[in-house]
Structure 1
Amino acid sequence: MGLLDQCQELFKTASLYEVLGITKEATEAEIRRSYYKLSLKVHPDRAPDDPKATEKFQVLGKLYAVLSDKEQRAVYDEQGIVDEESDCLSQDHCWEDYWRLLFPRITKQDILDFEKQYKGSDEERKDLLRLYVEHQGDMDVILTCVLCGSQEDEPRLADIIWAAIKNGDVEEFPAFTQESNKKKRARKKRADRERKEAEEMQKEMGLDQEEDSLMTMIKKRNTSREQDFNSFMSNLEAKYSKKGGKSSKRAKK
């Protein structure tokens, strides 16, 4: 059975782009992120109740191998076919090793390095102002969603927002400009309690012995951050992952 037929059978569509939930105009980075997120969902270790998890994982590996190769992608875009005999679709290819090569395990130091580069960057400012507008100045929600943010960061983040309001980059929302001291104190008290709970969780999970526990702890600490957490991890994967090798055979014309 060819790749397109496998996609139809397992994902109910023969379109490689539709499987990943993206369009034909998607960039290489968007393809990579979509592949990473979907492959995580169907990974046999994460979907033990799905009898076809292994098959789905392997098919996604093949799909990404095609779309990440410029020549094969061009042929697929133009003719709607893939080269089933190419090296990247080899039957003896270990797709688990391929996936791990693309997305090596993220360490605690990787996360700390990312945080150091992210804080104070243009990317952080852009994300912060997006959240400010999206949540109409509600700092309770903004501080919950902002990446790498903590209670200690609030004064610095508030200064960024105030400066943006002054410059006319964002509109003035009363929820932010007229926030009461009572609400600020309640937020600080809540943050202190969450920090204490996180520290206790860290000890219980033996973080020093298992670096993966850091990511579990971050996600478990605040489930409302899940979407931004996934974005955060995707950024890390893109930053620290190695690029996969190209197929040695040209796609069929």
Structure 2
Amino acid sequence: MGLIERCNELFKTSSLYEVLGTSKQATEADIRRAYYKVSLKVHPDRAPDDELATEKFQVLGKVYAVLSDAEQKTVYDEQGIVDEETDALSHDRCWEDYWRVLFPQITVQDIVEFEKKYKGTDEERQDVLQFYVQYKGNMDAIMESTLCCSADDEPRICSIIQEAIDKKEVAAFHAFTKESEKKKKTRRKRADKERQEAEEMQKEMGLGDEDDSLTKMIKLRQTSRDKNFNSFLSNLEEKYAPKAGKSKKAKK
């Protein structure tokens, strides 16, 4: 059974783009992040004995292998077919190894180092304002989406937004300018609960305070959220992920 047929059987669509939850207009980086997000849900580490999940994981790897190769992607886009004989779709390929080469494990220390270089930069400011516009001033969504952001950062994040409003760089959304004290307290309460859970986990794992383990754990938990991690990965992948090599040309 060919790749397109397998996609239809396992994902109920014959479109390789729909399997990854993206579109034909997606950039190479968009396709890479889409593959990461979808494949993470069925990664063998999550359910080592789930044969269906493993099968889906392998098919997702093949889908990405096709769409990430310029020549194969062009053939698929123009003709709607996949060359099953290409080396990229080798049946004996270890798709889990392939995944780990594309997405090497990012450590807590990587996150801490990234935070040092990221906070207070123009890049962070642009990200904050982008989220502000995207979520129309909803601070819950903005705080969840901003990289390496904790409750302690909220006053600073708000000042970035307010300054941009004063300079008329962005619109003054009611959700931000008129946010109720009740909603602010609820958000803070939620953050305090997360910190308490991290403290309990720290004790269970026997971690000490000498290496600021709690702070690192909280940062890892926050950055691991889907929205944050996909964006975080795109910032780190150039530094930590080796460039994916081009697959050999399809056999005639």
Unaligned runs of 5+ in 1: none
The alpha carbon displacement at 1:114 in A equals: 2.2
Q: Which residue of 2 aligns with 1:154?
A: 154
Pairwise CA distance, 1:28: 0.4
Instruction: Give the percent of matched residue pairs that are identical in Structure 1 and Structure 2.
Output: 62
Aligned partner of 1:200 in structure 2 is 200
Cα separation, 1, equivalents of 2:140 and 2:23: 35
The 5 A counterparts of 1:130-149 are 130-133=130-133, 136-137=136-137, 139=139, 142-149=142-149
Q: What CA distance in whole angstroms lies between the structure 2 residues aligned with 1:251 and 1:215?
A: 46
SS of 1:170's partner is coil
Alignment of 1:42-191 (within 5 A): 42-47=42-47, 50-133=50-133, 136-137=136-137, 139=139, 142-173=142-173, 176-177=176-177, 191=191
The Cα offsets for residues 147-189 of structure 1, whole Å up to 9 and x where unpaired, read as: 2112332332222112101110122346645668898788667
TM-score by length of 1: 0.79
Question: Which protein, 1 or 2, shows the higher relative CO under an 8 Å CA cutoff with sep ≥ 6?
Answer: 1
**Distance change (3 Å), C-alpha of 1:183 and 1:47:** closer
CA-to-aligned-CA distance 1:32-84 (integer Å, 9 cap, x gap): 01111111112233245753111111111111111111111111111122221
Secondary structure (helix, strand or coil) at the match of 1:52 reads: helix
What's the Cα RMSD here? 3.4
Aligned match of 1:41: 41
Residue identity in the other structure for 2:90: S
| 1:238 aligned partner | 237
In the superposition, the TM-score normalised over structure 2's length comes to 0.79
Tell me: CA distance 1:184–1:40, structure 2 relative to 1, closer, same or farther (3 Å). closer
Gaps of 5+ in 2: 209-213
Verify the 8 A CA contact 2:85 2:251 in the aligned structure 1. Answer: no
**What is the aligned length?**
246
Which residue identity does 1:34 align to in structure 2?
A
Query: Does the CA-based 8 Å contact 1:83-1:251 persist in structure 2?
Result: yes
SS at 1:5 equivalent = helix
